[in-house]
Amino acid sequence: MPVYQIFIQIFEHARIKPFLCGQFGSPRFNRDMTIIITDQNTPVAQVIPLVQDERLKEILAGLAQRAGVDAATLQQDFRAEPKEGLILYPAGQPDSRLYLLGLGKKCSFSDLQAAFRSFSHRFKAKLPQNIGIDLRQFPVADIPRLTEAVLTGISLGLYEIGRRFRTGTEDKPVPEFSADHSQVTILVPSEAVFAAHPAIQRAQAFAGAAKNILDLMNAPGNFKTPLMLADWVTEQGRECGFKVRTVHVEDIEKEGLGALYAVGKGSPNPPVLLLLEYGEKSASTPVFGLVGKGITFDTGGISLKPSANMHYMKSDMGGAAAVLGAFMVAAQLKLPVRLIGAIPAAENMVDGIAVKPGDVITTYSGKTVEVTDTDAEGRLVLADALAYLLKEETPGVLIDLATLTGSIIRAIGTQAAGLFTSSDELAAALTTSGDACGERLWRMPMWEEYGSDLKSDVADLRNYTGKPMAESISAAKFLEHFTAAHPVWAHLDIAGMAFADSEFAQTKSATAYGIRLLTEFVEHWTATHSSTD
Ligand code: BES
Ligand code: MN
Ligand code: ZN
């Protein structure tokens, strides 16, 4: 039997394996968590977020009086440091609790979300079923946004990373607040009650999508092969309201997606290209193209990675996760936009039939590439996905996201993702959205000279320069060749942001970075451009 036939048979076999996508949750979360926004009284268990400003002393004095404790001592002990928590038990008032929550000096959206996520994560086992949150000290104009931050944070704090694969968890009693039918009452100034209402739906959409994406990102590679991912995305599309088309391996080969095929062919789990669509085509609807790297596991291929941290490479689909999350949120919020998405999904494995260093492949665009390093696989699959998406439709804005290089982490660490674009306008808009929601971006250079190291002697391009410098920029320059010179294209290297150390897990874990950034960018761009073309 010729080798290629065996290959196809293995792929066929993989296709009929049972998929475990049903284990992932529904995109709608905590449907039973009742949220109330009111200017009236709240439950006796109340969270009071406190900023380190000139009013702190006075507010603490009032709280001390309410609880019947000494004001000076409370002022001395509670400094409202970020995430600082202190519980007061008012004397003679059964079940009453005052949770003082520090916010630090400023109170941005992300600070508040982070404080409440931390709070609900740390206290969830002890919180009663009904809690109130007093936001009356904040400016009326900020209340809708702050309410959204609080609710998103609380919901994310209830996320349990070990929920899916640990045994024995069913026997443990579910803490009151995590259980269904818990109630959160947000206390706001009267003038803000009406305006704050949409925050409920927004927080539910964001946190719901994010928690599902956290599950997906944290899932091990054997639970999210490309085909399992395809099933999961199809299911999410059905639930949330976006279309999903799966291009299977036979068509990937037939249609000439040679780069995606080459990266996937070393694995018995075949690659897929997922095409997503939300919103109808119409002259007045702005169109955004979103492409996300979906390497479900990256061993490096024949250019094998060292083993020490290889298990983290289950997160090499962080770009895909961000794109998916944005589709889930946009569809649930019924944003007046059109999104078209492409997710190239593959497992980058070591095998006798895997692509080899030095192999020349023909990409979907027709350009040939010398694969000088099989570990630079992300740019290969993205090259095909970008070209394929653009062949079908030209979006007004094109953005790709990828956990693309270790180099971006060495350059700017874990505080921002790398932003690569030649469009100043797009750079400014994306940076503004990132700053507003705390999912920050830092712009990197894209000068032409950086592209010269990608010249190959035998093909149109090579995928790795061979030089251990400016690798994240070379990668961006490589991708540029496949964007049909789209004038409003940005590449986001999210390698340092998608999977990170946090207070919520023992080791690195998913962050759901990019969902809010993309969604808020899309909303902002739509509001400021009547048409994207
Ligand atoms: N998936 C990795 C990049 C990565 C590294 C993501 C660390 C998250 C954390 C990517 O496919 C890769 O292997 N990149 C190589 C590129 C090199 C061969 C040019 C890298 O960064 O070392
Ligand atoms: Mn790699
Ligand atoms: Zn990779």
The DSSP code for 339 is E
Ligand 1 test: best mutation among 307, 355, 374, 404, most atoms within 8 Å of CB?
Answer: 404
Q: Judging by beta carbons within 10 Å of its beta carbon (0-12, 13-18, 19+), is residue 108 exposed, middle or buried?
A: middle
How far, in Å, from the CA of 91 to the mean position of ligand 1? 57
How far, in Å, from the CA of 377 to the mean position of ligand 2? 5
For each of the domains in the chain, give its residue range(s) and CATH number, in order of start: 3-205 (3.40.220.10), 226-532 (3.40.630.10)
Pure H helices in 333-415:
378-392, 406-412
Residue pLDDT, tens place only, 212-261: 999 999 999 999 999 999 999 999 999 999 999 999 999 999 999 999 99
For residue 258, what is the enclosing H or E element?
helix 258-264
Residue pLDDT, tens place only, 420-468: 999 999 999 999 999 999 999 999 999 999 999 999 999 999 999 999 9
pLDDT band at residue 92 using 50, 70 and 90 as cut-offs: very high
pTM over 0.85: yes
Q: What is the mean pLDDT of residues 469-487?
A: 98
Find out whether 315 and 510 touch, Cβ atoms under 8 Å: yes
Nearest-CA residue for atom 13 of ligand 1: 375
Q: Judging by beta carbons within 10 Å of its beta carbon (0-12, 13-18, 19+), is residue 458 exposed, middle or buried?
A: exposed
How far, in Å, from the CA of 427 to the mean position of ligand 3? 25
Which ligand 1 atom is the nearest neighbour of the CA of 305? 13
List, in order, residues 6 or more apart from 448 with CB less than 8 Å away.
none
Which ligand 1 atom is the nearest neighbour of the CA of 378? 11
Residue pLDDT, tens place only, 104-158: 998 899 999 999 999 999 998 889 999 999 999 999 999 999 999 999 999 999 9
Q: Is 398 in the pocket of ligand 1 (CB under 6 A)?
A: no
Which ligand 1 atom is the nearest neighbour of the CA of 298? 1
Residue pLDDT, tens place only, 367-389: 999 999 999 999 999 999 999 99
